Amino acid sequence: MKSKKFLLLIALVIVLQTVLAACSSNSGGSEGNKDKNANTGSGGGNVTEITLWHMEEPPNRVKRFQEIADAFNKANPDIKVTTQVQSWGDAYSKFPASIMSGTGPDLLFTIPDYTTLIKELGVVQPVDDIIESLDSKHGFLDTALEPYKYDGQTWAVPIFGMVQVLWYRNDLLQAANVEPPKTWAELKTAAEKLTSGNKYGIALPGSKSMATDQVLYSFLVSGGAKHVINGNNEITFDNEKTVAAYQMYTDLMKFSPPDSNTYQWGEPQALFNSGSVAMAIEKGQYLSTFEAESGRPASDLGVVPMPVGEGGEEGSIYYSNGIMVLTDDAAKKEAITKFFEFLFEPETYGSFVNAEPGLFLPVTEDGSKAESFWNDPVISKYKDQVEVLIKASSNGALFGFTDGVATKIGQIAGPNYMAQTLENIIIAGKSVEDSVKWGQAQMETAVK
């Protein structure tokens, strides 16, 4: 059975490789990995060895995660956690083969759609006992935990979240006598008023990319159209609220730079920091570089939750990042439980999350209050902005995980069908209604 699942997964890899975050069966029971990832068993001598793979390659993140592992190892001399840096570029193409050959890790970083893929290998262990203990002590956010709960069990431990908000240049809005927008109508009015000459009201990605998918989905959420696909893998994309969201995005593109159809993540941030655009919709990575790149004080970095459309709801895209357990070795599972207990203690957890201040957000109630989180230089400087990010996390959503868990979400996310739907409008010149119908048809074909 596992070999059949593996062959199926190889067939899906082509469309899944581009999914970043950023990112099943109905058995309801343990997926019985017969310790293919035991590596050195229970370790050398009296030391239980645990291998952890993460795909956070920036040096600051690598360093911080290693510091956490070193601190744990020092406090637990009978356990050794070894962190190994991998690449998201290999996660879909190479990791499954490594895992099935027995050369994979004991712990693996993940995002919700990636978990549905690796779960099909039959090696992912339920973590309900770990979750129950941690939740009673620290209190997980529902938005962080729910995407990993299906088939009657929980398949990953959430470790940090990422959420989109509306960033604005306070200095530019004040100069134009514009208030931070709370609704789509106010956002459109503000973007138009802030556009003049070579200055633009907003920078939006319009390329065939996950960056575009993510911002588009924030409009779908705030417009009341977050249910793109349900737990039966039925596509629910084509509806009047989706059309309204795409119409708003298209209208706003008139106030975004003319080459926006090439933008991914970096271009809007660079233009925002340079003062060429006044607003952008993105996650918390804007904090750490704002002053250095803009030459402006921290007070000029404004942020509000994603503006809400008529008949919509407060919310935006939210990625819950987690860790999967891939070993069923009893000694290792006991050691892994201790590692999670150590990680989520407030004095440790804040430091862990601040491997990337602002982008990585706490997923526990006490973590969002921990001194180790708020004492970080970036977090303390942007306290008001971070509070907006944390509040927005409670209203987050992720396509494929809003109406049950869609096990075929990768077939939609991989080809960027949401972004392609936008391209039909802004490049091919098709109507919004026809483009959304096209998107529905493409998604239906993809999940057959």
For every one of its 448 residues, what pLDDT tens digit does the chain have, with 9 covering 90 and above?
A: 444 444 445 545 444 444 443 443 333 333 334 344 444 444 446 999 999 999 999 999 999 999 999 999 999 999 999 999 999 989 988 999 999 999 999 999 999 999 999 999 999 999 999 999 999 999 999 999 999 999 999 999 999 999 999 999 999 999 999 999 999 999 999 999 999 999 999 999 999 999 999 999 999 999 999 999 999 999 999 999 999 999 999 999 999 999 999 999 999 999 999 999 999 999 999 999 999 999 999 999 999 999 999 999 999 999 999 999 999 999 999 999 999 999 999 999 999 999 999 999 999 999 999 999 999 999 999 999 999 999 999 999 999 999 999 999 989 998 999 999 999 999 999 999 999 999 999 999 999 9
* Buried-state track 22-51, b at ≥16 Cβ within 10 A, e below 16: bbbeeeeeebebebbbbbeebbeeeebbbb
What is d(CA 376, CA 64) in angstroms, rounded to the nearest whole number? Answer: 13
Task: Dump the DSSP string for 360-393.
Answer: BB--BTTGGG-HHHHTSHHHHHTHHHHHHHHHHH
Residues of the chain with CATH 3.40.190.10: 2-161+317-384, 165-316+399-446
CATH number of this structure's domain 165-316+399-446: 3.40.190.10
What is the pLDDT, as a whole number, of residue 93?
87
Planar angle of CA 381, 383, 387, nearest 5 degrees: 155
- Are 223 and 190 spatial neighbours (Cβ–Cβ below 8 Å)? no
* CA 398 from centre of chain: 8
- Which is nearest to 88 in space by CA: 439, 441, 430, 414? 414
What is the pLDDT, as a whole number, of residue 45?
62
What is the pLDDT, as a whole number, of residue 41?
45
Residue 432 belongs to what H/E stretch? helix 432-446
CATH architecture of 2-161+317-384: 3-Layer(aba) Sandwich (3.40)
Q: Which residues pair with 280 in a beta bridge?
A: 167, 203
Strands (DSSP E) found in 112-224: 149-150, 153-154, 157-163, 165-169
